[in-house]
Amino acid sequence: MRTGVFEPLAIASLARLIGSARESGAARVARWVLAIALVIFGVDHFLALGFITSLVPAWIPLHVFWAALFGAAFIACAMALTFGVWVVTLHLPRTLGFYGIPGAMRRVSRA
């Protein structure tokens, strides 16, 4: 059931992120929804390891290895995505001097 709900949400989030390069509140929400979906997909790989293993084609060796690897990869991708959102949200404005923190770049006004 989780997959049935989060697969369409993940696809819609990806479509939103690909559809526009402009940063917006909808893009931020799409990133978070995608990250949550990726964690759920990764956890599902481990909870249903036997079922996921049965989906791997017979010609591919090490079925359990691949199912577990991709479960871990889903979780790692979600962590990278949330870390990226955190870096952009926290560090980019500081680097551009918006917070008035010493050592950050300052905007220079030209007269």
Task: Confirm whether 43 is domain-assigned.
Answer: yes
Task: Confirm whether 103 is domain-assigned.
Answer: no
Task: Write out the residue range of the structural domain in which residue 82 sits.
Answer: 2-95
How many structural domains compose the chain? 1
- pLDDT value, residue 25: 78
pLDDT in tens, 62-89: 999 999 999 999 999 998 888 877 777 7
Stretch 56-63: mean pLDDT: 92
How many angstroms separate the first and last alpha carbons of the chain? 61
Task: Confirm whether 23 is domain-assigned.
Answer: yes
pTM (whole model) above 0.85: no
CB 7 within 8 A of CB 30: no
Rounded CA-CA distance 48/2 in Å is 12
Closest CA to 10 of 53, 56, 73, 74: 74
Task: Confirm whether 101 is domain-assigned.
Answer: no
Task: Confirm whether 109 is domain-assigned.
Answer: no
